Amino acid sequence: MSWLLDAWRESGARRELTALAERLGLTDLPTTPGWGPALVAMVDQHAAAVRDILQASTGRIGVVELAGYARGVQDAATESGWQPVPFRQDAGWSADWVTVRLAAVCLLAVAGTVTIALAGGDGELPLLF
């Protein structure tokens, strides 16, 4: 019966991360149209840090661990007065630390190769999560 509990946890974690991505305006994951090279680099660095933290603490980087990590970041940030600022392709994105960190978590949740379409039609950049 543990397989059922594991499936239930994973399903809940996926729903939670999907809702987070929607609040951040990242509805086109795994592609992220409109991101510039600087934002791509920041998200990539945050994703690497999250991977390292989860690997060191839990030994696993699954969707359940990512959702738990995102929940902790949001709770701490909310206590400090942080509010999510959704990405809008026409207006850009306020790239504060918390938002970038949570975007990295969302991208890690979709895993695999993520293609970033750079702003201004400057091509695409693959990221390997």
Shortest CA distance to 95 belongs to which of 37, 16, 48? 37
Collapsing DSSP to helix, strand or coil, 116 comes out as: strand
SS3 90: coil
Residue that wins the pLDDT comparison between 19 and 35: 19
CB 84 within 8 A of CB 23: yes
Highest mean pLDDT among 2-6, 30-34, 65-69, 95-99: 65-69
Joined together, the tokens standing for residue 124 give 């695409």
Q: What was the pLDDT predicted at 49? A: 94
Instruction: Please give the tally of structural domains in the chain.
Output: 1
Write down the pLDDT at residue 113.
42
Give the residue-averaged pLDDT of 24-33. 72
**Span 102-122, pLDDT tens digits:** 999 998 888 644 444 555 555
Domain that holds residue 29: 2-128
